[in-house]
Amino acid sequence: MSKTKIAVLVSGGGTNLQALIDAARDGIIAHGELALVISNNAGAFALTRAANAGIKTAVISKKELGSAEAFEEKLLETLAANGIEMIVLAGFMVILSKRFTDAYPNRILNVHPSLIPSFCGEGFYGLHVHEAALAYGVKVTGATVHFVNEIPDGGRIIMQKAVEIEEGDTPEVLQRRVMEQAEWKILPLSVELVAKEIKEEKKN
């Protein structure tokens, strides 16, 4: 039977996308196919990573389309046209509406660079998350992969991994450690888990 067709949505550097590409190559993601990468930002390096791996890419710009509604409409259209069954938000810096998330219940995954419910929700993205963790003075942080619903970072948790904060950490140093020790590990494992579940559902 064919693999679960996955779209990865990105906005920036795409190191999590790279972890998915490597995991697919290494057979860690065995039940899913990285079929499409979509960016809201034409300058995202993630697009180069996708092209280098031979994955089809698309750019959908909110600015050009003029509204969040038109942006989501175009996203849905592109996903449907490519037969996408599962969506991974990998550093995608756009909050999706209920209308969008309801179209793919338990089919959208997101990776967030903290242990949810700490340092999450609107305004907590990228480096800001690590700045907040250091400012609070927590000793342990980490990453979470969760399903996406209409509440920012509010969907059911799939996997989490803890990461120690070290003396003298800067947000940048901590961000890198959380990626290396947590995000790049639990994102591919979660993608395989859900891709496999979707494939098994199709069989029944």
Closest residue to ligand GAR: CB criterion: 91
Smallest separation (angstroms) from ligand GAR to the CB of 44? 8
Burial of 167-177, coded b for 16+ CB within 10 Å and e otherwise, reads: eebebeebbeb
In angstroms, the CA 82 to CA 76 distance is: 10
By CB under 6 A, name the one of 14, 32, 142, 188 that touches ligand GAR. 14
Report the DSSP pairing between strands 56-59 and 108-112: unpaired
- Letters for 55-84 (x = contact with ligand GAR by CB under 6 A, - = none) are ------------------------------
Q: Which 124-163 residues touch ligand GAR, going by CB under 6 A? A: 125-126, 129
Respond yes or no on whether the N-terminal peptide bond of residue 117 is cis (omega within 30° of 0).
Answer: yes
Instruction: Decide if residue 101 touches ligand GAR (CB under 6 A).
Output: no
Q: What letter represents residue 203's amino acid? A: K
Smallest separation (angstroms) from ligand GAR to the CB of 7? 15
What ranges make up the beta strands (E) of 28-177? 32-39, 56-59, 86-89, 108-112, 140-147, 157-164
By CB under 6 A, name the one of 31, 49, 107, 112 that touches ligand GAR. 112
- Whether residue 55 contacts residue 36, with contact meaning beta carbons closer than 8 Å, is answered with yes
Nearer to ligand GAR, 13 or 154 (CB): 13
Which residues of this protein are in contact with ligand GAR, per CB under 6 A?
A: 12-16, 46, 90-91, 111-113, 125-126, 129, 179, 183
